[in-house]
A = this chain, B = another copy of it.
Amino acid sequence: MNVAPKEILDLNRFDATRTDGFPPELAERVARRQSSFGASSVLFYEQPIEMVRASGAYMYDVNGRRYLDVYNNVPSVGHCHPRVVEAIARQVGQLNIHTRYLNRVVEDYAEKLLATFPSPLGNLVMTCTGSESNDLAMRIARIGTGGEGFIVTEAAYHGNTALVTEISPSSLRRREPALFVEVIPAPTAHDDMSVEDSFAASVEQAIAKLRARGLALAGMIVDTIFSSDGIYADPPGFLKTAVDIVHRAGGLFIADEVQPGFGRSGGGLWGFRRHGITPDIVTMGKPMGNGFPMGGVVTRPDLLKMFCEETGYFNTFGGNPVAAAAGRAVLEVIEEEGLIEASRSVGTGFRQALEALRMAHPQIGEVRGAGLFIGLDFIDPEQVAPDSALTTHVINEMKQNGILIGAAGKFGATLKIRPPLCFSSDDAAVFVATLDTILEAR
Chain A interface (Cβ < 8 Å from any Cβ of B):
7-10, 29-30, 32-33, 35-44, 48-54, 59, 72, 74-75, 79-80, 82, 85, 88-89, 92-104, 107, 110-111, 114, 122-125, 128-132, 135-136, 138-139, 160-163, 165, 170-175, 285-286, 290-294, 301, 304-305, 307-317, 320, 322-323
**Which of chain B's residues have a CB closer than 8 A to the CB of A320?**
291, 293
**Which of chain B's residues have a CB closer than 8 A to the CB of A161?**
132, 135, 161-163
For the residues of A in contact with B, the DSSP-based class is: mixed
**Which of chain B's residues have a CB closer than 8 A to the CB of A301?**
38-39
**Which of chain B's residues have a CB closer than 8 A to the CB of A39?**
123, 301, 304-305, 307-309
> Do residues B95 and A9 form an inter-chain contact, with CB atoms below 8 A?
no
Q: A161-B161, A313-B171 are in contact. Are A44 and B101 (CB under 8 A)?
A: yes
Q: How far is the CA of A92 from the CA of B29 in the complex (A)?
A: 23
> Do residues A37 and B160 form an inter-chain contact, with CB atoms below 8 A?
no
> Do residues B160 and A315 form an inter-chain contact, with CB atoms below 8 A?
yes
Q: What copy number does this chain have within its complex?
A: 2
**Which of chain B's residues have a CB closer than 8 A to the CB of A49?**
101-102
> Do residues B95 and A52 form an inter-chain contact, with CB atoms below 8 A?
yes
Give A30 Cβ to nearest chain B Cβ, in Å.
Answer: 7
> Do residues B130 and A129 form an inter-chain contact, with CB atoms below 8 A?
no
> Do residues B125 and A37 form an inter-chain contact, with CB atoms below 8 A?
yes
Q: How far is the CA of A93 from the CA of B88 in the complex (A)?
A: 10
Q: A163-B162, A312-B170 are in contact. Are A51 and B89 (CB under 8 A)?
A: no
> Do residues A97 and B75 form an inter-chain contact, with CB atoms below 8 A?
yes
> Do residues A93 and B80 form an inter-chain contact, with CB atoms below 8 A?
yes
Closest chain B residue to A168 by CB distance? Answer: B312
> Do residues A80 and B95 form an inter-chain contact, with CB atoms below 8 A?
yes
Q: A52-B94, A54-B97 are in contact. Are A162 and B174 (CB under 8 A)?
A: no
**Which of chain B's residues have a CB closer than 8 A to the CB of A98?**
72, 74
